[in-house]
Structure 1
Amino acid sequence: MDLLRSLPIGLYLEQPQTWLHKLDPRVKLVWLMSFLTTYIFANNLWRVLLVVVLILATLMARIPRRVWRQQMVWLLTLCFFVLVIISISPDGLGINYQPRLPTNQQVLTEKSAATPSTPALPTNNQKDYRYLLIDKGPVKVTRRSLDLAISVSTMVFTLIYTTNLYLLTTAPEEITAALESLMQPLRRFKLPVTEMTLTLTLSLRFIPLVLEEIQNLIRSVMTRAINWKKLGLKGAVKVWLLVAQRLLENLLLRAEQMASAMMVRGFTSPHEHRVQWHDLRLKTGDWVAIALLIVFWGVRLAIGTEV
């Protein structure tokens, strides 16, 4: 079991360097926020298009299959189960739907013949509209439940995969540099922008350490070949409480080591000990991404607005 490979959430892919890596982190952050906000008040066509765009962007970036295959398969499986469960669940309206036209077409024909002054309803060329799409015993799928299922499943995929793709192709230092650059106007309100970005940098750097500690502790438990049946529920709970206590101690030790390393290097405050990791400049590819972002929002306003 290797959590750092099977569950690389929040980890940065250093090699190979794709065109997503080379984009300015500020531009990628604006794209991220666009993906996370455009599905609000959008129709299902646009939400499905967001999923397709994310998958195509992953393939076009030529990110190694070993990196995204397992994540995408598990996430698509989760979204599929969400789609199925919400589809067969009650739609929340609590109505007993009845068709607009009588089921017996002979009654409609007789009424039309009895009143020749009233034009007959077009029964042959009319649209076949049904609110209840599937009615097989306890399984009932309505138009509203299906619409809600598509909406929720696509939103889950967009929220999780967009953020993961951003963290995969953007280094933690680039993220904090972009946030600090975009948050410069907040300095006028005397907000500690540099301290906030430094805290975010340390938090992002701490995620792999947490996964590594969890992985090492799980391996240590597995190598001891514990007979869980003999321990019972109470014994198993005691073992995992000891593991959790050990995990907390190791994480606090790692945090103390990071603090000591910063103090040894003479770090007193963010303003007196600044390290400029990246020189943020917009290049040709960034301007192309900005132009595509404008087109993206134009398409969203044209076809993605919910009626």
Structure 2
Amino acid sequence: MVKRGNVHSSPATFLHSVDPRIKLDQLGRVSLLCGILFILSGLGTDGVPQLVQSRTPSSSLTGLPDLPKSLSGYSYLIMKLGPLQLTRKGLSVASTASSLTFIIFQSASLCLATTTPEQLAFALRWFLFSLRYIGVPVAEIVLTLMLSLRFINLMFDEVRNVALGIVSRRINWQQLTMKETVDVFCFLHSADLQEYF
């Protein structure tokens, strides 16, 4: 029986080769994003009451007896926080949206962290190969993907160098006006972009 929370070194999977700092940092960010999405979509789905009124006549006009309330205590409204309300529909939408967002972002992050650009380009070429017959430029798409995956690390390094340049200058940001702050950023980023163009 495997206890929860234990780390097992065998069988070795591709996740064992990834640095834990990468996995855990990205996991925290994606979890925060999905938590915010869950709260906003849960409270916002049915948060505003509908302006539409029922078009059926009331039971007193039709002569029918009122329908009895549910004996089991079913309630569409789960929680009410002032003007915001959490309903069953909102909970369903929120859990679906946050789960799908987490799966998409985390799987893309792990795929990019563990797979080389050449392997990703080869896999995309294999999947898109049949679209070549209807005129889709598969070779150009694959080349663009591979070049972007190759050079994205260079862009991240340049952004890091710009950030280190700003820190090493020991700029007193409180004394700068808004225009001077924008000028500093524009100067450093224009120097960064001149290396590429």
Higher relative contact order (CA 8 A, sep 6+): 1
Q: 1:185 maps to what in 2?
A: 130
Q: Structure 1 residues 226 and 195, CA, compared in 2 at 3 Å: closer, same or farther?
A: same
Question: d(CA) in 2 for partners of 1:146 and 1:122?
Answer: 23
For residue 94 of structure 1, give the secondary structure of its aligned residue in structure 2.
coil
Choose which of 188, 192, 195 in structure 2 pairs with 1:247: 192
Question: d(CA) in 2 for partners of 1:151 and 1:70?
Answer: 23
Question: d(CA) in 2 for partners of 1:189 and 1:137?
Answer: 56
Amino acid at match of 1:91: D
Q: Map 1:6-45; keep pairs closer than 5 Å.
A: 19-20=13-14
Q: Map 1:1-307; keep pairs closer than 5 Å.
A: 19-20=13-14, 63-89=18-44, 91=46, 94-95=49-50, 126-189=71-134, 191-252=136-197
For residue 140 of structure 1, give the secondary structure of its aligned residue in structure 2.
strand
TM-score, structure 1 as length reference: 0.49
Please state how far the C-alpha of 1:173 moved relative to its aligned partner: 0.3
C-alpha contact (below 8 Å) 1:91/1:145 kept by paired residues: yes
C-alpha contact (below 8 Å) 1:210/1:251 kept by paired residues: no
Amino acid at match of 1:246: A
C-alpha contact (below 8 Å) 1:83/1:149 kept by paired residues: yes
Please state how far the C-alpha of 1:83 moved relative to its aligned partner: 1.5
For residue 78 of structure 2, give the secondary structure of its aligned residue in structure 1.
strand
Amino acid at match of 1:80: G
Please state how far the C-alpha of 1:196 moved relative to its aligned partner: 2.9
Question: d(CA) in 2 for partners of 1:224 and 1:151?
Answer: 47
**Structure 2 residue runs without a partner (length 5+):** 1-11, 52-67
Q: Structure 1 residues 19 and 250, CA, compared in 2 at 3 Å: closer, same or farther?
A: same
Please state how far the C-alpha of 1:156 moved relative to its aligned partner: 1.8
- RMSD over aligned CA atoms reads 2.7
Amino acid at match of 1:67: I
Please state how far the C-alpha of 1:202 moved relative to its aligned partner: 1.1
Please state how far the C-alpha of 1:215 moved relative to its aligned partner: 0.3
Q: Structure 1 residues 191 and 148, CA, compared in 2 at 3 Å: closer, same or farther?
A: closer
Q: Structure 1 residues 142 and 226, CA, compared in 2 at 3 Å: closer, same or farther?
A: same
